[in-house]
Amino acid sequence: MEKLLQNIINECYPYIKNGEVATYIPELAKADKNEFGICTASHGEGINGVGDYKKSFTMQSIAKTVILLRALEDKGEEGVRRLVGVEATGKPFDAFNYSDQALKSEHINPMINAGAIALCTLIDGKTYQEKFQRLLDLTRKIAGNPSLDIDEDVYLSEKATGNKNRALTYMLKAYGIINEDAEEVLDCYFRACSIKVTSVDLAKIAFVLANRGMDTLSGKQIFDKNHAKYINAVLMTCGMYDGSGEFAVTVGVPAKSGVGGGIMAVVPGRMGIGIYSPALDSKGNSCAGIKALELLSKELELSIF
């Protein structure tokens, strides 16, 4: 497996030049666009990684996956569906114009910023500090890494410059989708996006999703298998921003990207994949990362279609 992964990195490395690191969050602009790592977690093969697969980076939008899981675990599918829909918007992840009419819950999904921000309000906890801690604890649990924590510099950078997310939150309040303190909700969301992971952590999280919530190492069911099914379906249709349809055709597995350069891909029943390459395309997806997943999917026949 490592030889295959190294060959893929070698073949995909030139695609880095097609992208640039995110700059709208100042701390993310400090990333080295030439870093590139892949890690897989699978039955039989275990954990295999090459390149910069141990490099730490922030989850950014990949955290939306865990936010959705935490909300499902706390409020159930019915509670989640009352707040957000499941249809792809076909628009950028931070867009405002989801509908020509008044904004309704069904116009947003859990994998765009507005949807994930709204879902933070469903997490159980007396305070937003407690809500975030429960979210972080769940991330640590499914990654099998109790040391996961936030990157304080990225968190503060996002909080200082995240005015578009701030505007989205007040838009949600204006349309009555959320009713809680906007700044407290945002703080939880910014902290979630700032959780530091490696490609190994992403591969492990994806592998638990691939096994419908079960940790195959311990044989324990970490979360409801129906919630894993729900999340994987949403990742398939909405996880790669407004490039999800193209990704479904070329790669064909549930996945979530983040502007920190990460991609987490779920191969149901088979494998979890974590990739880090911070040079992004115009949609906010890793250029080399998407190409690597395309080649890996073809080589191992990973597509679910």
Give me the CATH number covering residue 70: 3.40.710.10
Q: What is the mean pLDDT of residues 119-144?
A: 97
Per-residue pLDDT at 41: 96
| Structural domain boundaries enclosing 69 | 62-193
Per-residue pLDDT at 223: 97
**Which residue has better confidence, 58 or 245?**
58
* 188 falls within a domain: yes
Q: What is the mean pLDDT of residues 37-43?
A: 96
What DSSP letter does each residue of 111-171 carry, written as one string?
TSHHHHHHHGGGS--SSHHHHHHHHHHHHHHHHT-TT--B-HHHHHHHHHH-HHHHHHHHH
DSSP for residue 177: S
Question: Quick one: pLDDT band at residue 237, thresholds 50, 70, 90?
Answer: very high
Per-residue pLDDT at 92: 62
For residue 180, the tally of other CB atoms under 10 A from its CB is 15
Per-residue pLDDT at 179: 94
pTM metric for this prediction:
0.95
pLDDT in tens, 91-117: 666 566 655 566 888 888 999 999 999
Per-residue pLDDT at 113: 93
> Which residues are the active-site residues?
61, 64, 189, 241, 259
Strands, DSSP E only, in the chain? 37-42, 46-51, 57-58, 196-197, 214-215, 220-221, 255-257, 262-267, 271-276
For residue 99, the tally of other CB atoms under 10 A from its CB is 11
Per-residue pLDDT at 88: 80
Per-residue pLDDT at 107: 83
Mean pLDDT of the chain: 94
Tell whether 187 and 96 lie within a shared domain: yes
Question: Quick one: pLDDT band at residue 89, thresholds 50, 70, 90?
Answer: confident
**Which residue has better confidence, 139 or 94?**
139
Tell whether 15 and 56 lie within a shared domain: yes
* 90 falls within a domain: yes
Tell whether 67 and 156 lie within a shared domain: yes
Per-residue pLDDT at 218: 77
* 202 falls within a domain: yes
Last residue of a domain, one of 177, 193, 209: 193
pLDDT in tens, 179-226: 999 999 999 999 999 999 999 999 999 999 999 999 887 788 999 999
In the chain, how many domains are there? 2
Q: What Rg, from alpha-carbon coordinates, does the chain have?
A: 18
Per-residue pLDDT at 137: 98
